[in-house]
Structures are given as C-alpha cells and as structure tokens.
Chains A and B, each alone.
Chain A
Amino acid sequence: MANTQALTSAWKRDVMLGLHAHGASVIRAATTKDDFKGALYLVTASRGAGDTVYNTTGELAGTGNYTQGGTAVTNGTDPALDGTTAIWTPTASLSWAALTSSGAFDAVLIYNDTSASKLAVSVHTFGSQSIVAGTFTLTMPAHAAATALVRIA
C-alpha cells in the first residue's frame, strides 16, 4: 500500500449535502433538503460560471404562461457517489405547459430557492428553442458519474 493524494470521494458528496463549512456559513433552520428551481434564459443572456444568484436578467418574460423564477425541481434522490464522482440529478423533468415563450431560449439556471439570496447552482444549455402555445419539457440526463446533472469528479 502507499499513500495517495486525494480529496476524498465522501467529501465531494458531503459538500453537496452541506456537511462542510470551510468558511463562515449560515445557520440552517432545519436538516431537511433545500428547495431548488429551474429558470429559463433567452439566447441573448449571459448565464454561466460567473453567476452567483438567481435574477431575472435575461430570463424569459413573465408572459405566455411563464412565471419568472421558473418551476420547482423535483429532488427525490439525495446526492450520492458513483465510484469516486459525487452526483446529483433531479428526479423529474422540468415542464412548462401552454407556454408561449417571449423569445428564443437556450439555457436553464438551477438555483437554491430556499436560500435567502437564491444561490446559483448550475447552468445547462441546449439548442435554441421557441415555444408557441405548446409545451416545453426538459428531461434530465441519466443519474450516473458520466452524465448526472451535477457532478464533482
């Protein structure tokens, strides 16, 4: 045996579970999981790694049956390890029915709706879409190390 330099796999998962605070953190009101939401952004927006919190800049307008803030994420499975990769994936598709989008959109921002400042989690892009009196459904990738929606490898 030999020692191996590594961040432990358990740490990767436990970060997602909120078990570590390497800096000043927040007082949590409960041990329950947070609520997350997904919001849609126009192709003209600039969402990405620099986002810190949810905001309406570049989001679809609150028209055509879209409500700004987006829709709730179904979070039925806790973060887990698949091998040495920590993974988390919502357990249901995000869907908007009877929608007419205010423009072409190509991104969804996942954010923490429980946190007071609506902390940003991740941005996921796809081919540009416009919806007219229809349904937009965003189905999640497979919950595995190579594909999960959120992965720390």
Chain B
Amino acid sequence: MAVIQTTRGEMDECDLVKREGVLDDDNEHTTWVEYYLGEELVHRSAHVTLKTSPVATAIAAAFGLGSQ
C-alpha cells in the first residue's frame, strides 16, 4: 500500500484515481503522474529528460570575402 503526498496530506494510493502520461518528441522525453480524489487533482509530478539543446556556432571570418 503506497502513500501519496497530496494537497490534503498523505493519502493511501488505493483511495485515489491514478492517471499517467508520456510525451516523446525531438526535444524531450517526459512522463507525468496525476492522482485524483474524485474530480480534484491532489497530486501531479513530472519528469522531463532533455534530449538536446540549442547549439552556438563559432565562425572564423574569411578575409578577402567582403573584407574592408
């Protein structure tokens, strides 16, 4: 029997409705879990794994091509 931290304090998981989701695209792999007490969202956690990031490109100028 798992205990879940909620907006109402610790609750027994079996008293809650659990919903899970996944997002996977080029940028991230994300999972989340939600617990509801009736229609009320009482817990939501998420785990985002970044897959990549913006890259800075270093460029050396070429002399003779538009140089002054």
Chain A residues near B (Cβ < 8 Å)? 5-7, 11-12, 85, 98, 100, 122, 124-127, 129-141, 146-153
Contacts and interface: CB of A to CB of B under 8 A. Distances in A.
A124 B7 contact: no
A100 B45 CA distance: 9
Contacts of B45: 131, 134-136
B58 A152 contact: yes
Contacts of A12: 58
A45 to B, nearest CB: 17
Contact-residue bracket for chain B: 20 to 34
Nearest to B49: A139
A141 B48 CA distance: 10
Given A127-B30, A153-B56, A132 B51 contact: no
B2 interface: no
Nearest to B30: A127
Given A126-B48, A138-B48, A139-B49, A151 B56 contact: yes
A8 B35 CA distance: 52
B57 to A, nearest CB: 5
Given A129-B30, A134-B44, 9 more contacts: A11-B58, A126-B28, A127-B48, A129-B32, A134-B5, A141-B53, A147-B53, A149-B53, A151-B54
